[in-house]
Structure 1
Amino acid sequence: MKVIFMGTPDFAVYSLEALCKHHEILAVISQPDRPKGRGKKMVETPVKAYALSQNLEVLQPERARAPEFVEQLKALAPDLIAVTAYGQILSEEILNIPKYGCINVHGSLLPKYRGAAPMQWSIIDGDAVTGITTMYMAKGMDTGDMLLTVEIPILPDDNFEVVHDKMAQSGADLLIETITALENGTVERIPQKEADATYAPMLTKETGHIDWTKSADSIRNLMRGLDPAPGAYTGYGEEVLKLFKGKVVADEADSPCGTVLSVTKKSFTVKCGEGALEILELQAKGGKRMLTDAYLRGHAVNVGDLLQ
């Protein structure tokens, strides 16, 4: 099948790599390169970098809806447009170009977690199972008819990085399976149930700010869902600490939430709205990520200190 692929981050590279092994890639569409880091150096998107390594044509429109870009897509005459984490809304005109439509690889079991950050929110919410859905793209945000799904377990210690990699590979495999089923006419369109829909909004800086009045379990889930980036964080005096790993422990202390209850050579424990959280791995502002015991060798954390 003649395919145009649209994607931008690492998650989408898995899908493009799989497509290259099974189908003819007419072109790869990715978001424009952006400046990153302190030097503001222009950095290629992961999808662009991989596409160029495979000698594929790469297009990077600022606006996918731009008439001149839409005409480029029409001229390529694709059988299918496959989309994985592209990052722009496609116009109805684009959706109508390919014979087999525009197929999206979405990182949740739709209609749950429509939106920009489904993988992170599934961990933050404490789900034990997530998954991938392939779907026809429609005008709404992740509202199109579903095609195939695959469930993926979220283990108790899985963080975003682990779940991301599992889902990226599963998404690539499911995309190939979906295209084969489309070619063979063996896949059924399944409308989404609007009553079951939930939304996974884009992450903001405030998303990561720890509210110590919440349960230790929910705070730990927040830490897992934002690990390795952007990281859950808390104020500690004049410092800001990113917290990455913690262990839920029982607590019945009559102390304000956020209070340091105990300090050992290896960790410190913080009072939560329900239970307490032993902090095992963290990062100070401007510093490196480290085990808490390494941090404590150079910084004083005292019983009774308050994290906010």
Structure 2
Amino acid sequence: MRVIFMGTPDFAVPSLEALLTKHEVVLVVTQPDKPKGRGKKMVPTPVKACALEHGIPVLQPEKVKEPEFVEQLRSYEPDLIAVTAFGQILSEPILEMPKYGCINVHGSLLPKYRGAAPMQWSIIDGEKVTGITTMYMAKGLDSGDMLLKAEVEITDEDTFATIHDKMAVTGANLLLDTLDQLEAGTLERIPQDHDAATYAPMITKETGHIDWSKNRQDIINLIRGLNPVPAAYTIYEEEVLKIFGAVISDVQADDAANGEIVAVVKKGFVVKCGDGCLLITEVQARGGKRMMTDAYLRGHAMKEGILLQ
């Protein structure tokens, strides 16, 4: 099939590479390059870098709904548009353009976790299973008919980083299976139960601000779901301290306030939470490197009795 692929981040690269094994990818559409680092050098998106490696034409519109861009797309005569983590909403003229429609690779088991950050929120919410859904794109937010699903287990050790990588590969494989069934005429459209829909809103910096009055497992899940970016954090003596690891501690501190550092031990420091204490095992101070807390404590003094904000 003649396919236009739309995608932007690392998560979308396996989908593009999978398509190239079986289909004619005539065009890649991705977000504009962004300045990065101290020198503010313009850096291509991961999908653009992959497309250029394979000699595929790339377009980077500021807004895909602009009529001139829609006509540019039409000139490629796609049979299908495949979308994985593109980052813009497609207009009706684009949705109606290809013979076989527009198929999206979404990072959840729909109708749960519609929206921008399904992988992070599934971990933050303590889910044990997530997955990929391929779906026909419609005007609403992730509301189109479902096609195929594949489950991915979330272990206690998984973080956003590990789930992201597992899901990217699962999504690529499911996209190929979806197109195989589409060509064979065996693909079924399954309408979503909109009453069962839940939402995964965009992650902001404030999402990561730890509320120490919550229970320990909820805080651990928040840390895992935002590891490595943007990272959960707390405020220690008016400075941001990012937290990447925590385990349940058996230290008893019933009289301490939530957020209070109740002990500093060899492996880290212990913080009082809503239902007990957590040992903080991995941190990053402002301007410093991410490191295990025992290494951090060798160069920085943490004081018992300080209240983390």
TM-score > 0.5, shorter chain as reference:
yes
Between the aligned partners of 1:76 and 1:210, the Cα distance in structure 2 is 48
- Corresponding residue of 2:157: 157
Q: CA deviation at 1:276?
A: 1.4
AA partner of residue 181 (structure 1): Q
The secondary structure found in structure 1 opposite 2:75 is helix
Q: CA deviation at 1:168?
A: 0.1
- For structure 1, the 5+ residue unaligned runs are none
AA partner of residue 282 (structure 1): V
- Corresponding residue of 2:180: 180
Between the aligned partners of 1:303 and 1:27, the Cα distance in structure 2 is 58
Between the aligned partners of 2:305 and 2:128, the Cα distance in structure 1 is 35
- Corresponding residue of 1:249: 249
Q: Check whether the contact 2:254–2:276 (CA below 8 A) recurs between aligned residues.
A: no
- Corresponding residue of 1:281: 282
Alignment of 1:36-185 (within 5 A): 36-185=36-185
Q: Check whether the contact 2:253–2:262 (CA below 8 A) recurs between aligned residues.
A: no
Between the aligned partners of 1:244 and 1:46, the Cα distance in structure 2 is 25
Q: CA deviation at 1:252?
A: 5.1
Per-residue CA deviation, residues 167-200 of structure 1 (Å, 9 max, x unaligned), is 0000000000000101111111001101110110
- Corresponding residue of 1:264: 265
Per-residue CA deviation, residues 13-60 of structure 1 (Å, 9 max, x unaligned), is 010000011100110000011112222211100000000000000011
Between the aligned partners of 1:171 and 1:7, the Cα distance in structure 2 is 13
Aligned residues: 308
Q: Does 1:302 align with 2:297?
A: no
- Corresponding residue of 1:230: 230
Q: Does 1:191 align with 2:188?
A: no
Identity %: 67
Between the aligned partners of 1:24 and 1:129, the Cα distance in structure 2 is 34
Q: CA deviation at 1:263?
A: 1.1
- For structure 2, the 5+ residue unaligned runs are none
Alignment of 1:204-243 (within 5 A): 204-243=204-243
TM-score calculated relative to the size of structure 2: 0.98
- Corresponding residue of 1:28: 28
Per-residue CA deviation, residues 77-128 of structure 1 (Å, 9 max, x unaligned), is 1110000000000001100111110000000000100000000000111110
- Corresponding residue of 1:14: 14
AA partner of residue 291 (structure 2): M
Between the aligned partners of 2:225 and 2:85, the Cα distance in structure 1 is 18
Between the aligned partners of 1:151 and 1:212, the Cα distance in structure 2 is 32
Per-residue CA deviation, residues 129-185 of structure 1 (Å, 9 max, x unaligned), is 000000000001100000000000000010000000000000000000000101111
